Amino acid sequence: MVSLQFQESFWCNVDVAFRRMDQLYQREYEPLGLAVVEAHILQLLYTEDGQMPTRLAKAVGRPATSFTPILDGLENKGLVERRTHPRDRRSVKIHLTDQGKAMEEQVWETAQRIEAKLSGQIPDDDLNHFHQALAGCQVMTY
């Protein structure tokens, strides 16, 4: 039987694991001057530059209403810029700046290093089950 700190609380166990993983991510991204969520946003933009803020917010699991300060932080660091949407001037798209583009290799290398550390802690079969469980949690409805 697996030993968990809180046998009767799924939430507490997930929360403890999340906080420990968050500390690892923060330590790794800190030398780049990035918060964890900022690094994930940059990764999304490296995959497809010029995305709508609502799409980025949803992708990183943040409410659109609290996403503006995160984008402000990236913009203040000179990594992204807001540009008027070409077909709807009421909307903006988020684009990488040259400085943001220049960090791409470092951001991806850091992400790979983190994933290697985490996956090294879990046997491959268990990691596959863990990914399945995470996917199930991400689509939960209330």
> Is 70 contained in some domain?
yes
Alpha carbons 62 and 57: distance in angstroms, whole number: 5
What pTM, to 2 d.p., does this model score? 0.85
> Is 105 contained in some domain?
yes
> Is 56 contained in some domain?
yes
* pLDDT at residue 50, as a whole number: 95
* pLDDT at residue 17, as a whole number: 83
Alpha carbons 37 and 92: distance in angstroms, whole number: 20
* pLDDT at residue 142, as a whole number: 58
> Is 140 contained in some domain?
no
Number of residues in the chain: 142
Q: Are 131 and 138 in contact (CB under 8 A)?
A: no
> Is 123 contained in some domain?
no
* pLDDT at residue 1, as a whole number: 57
**How high is the mean pLDDT in each 10-residue block of the chain (142 residues)?**
74 85 94 97 97 94 91 97 86 95 98 89 82 80 60
> Is 135 contained in some domain?
no
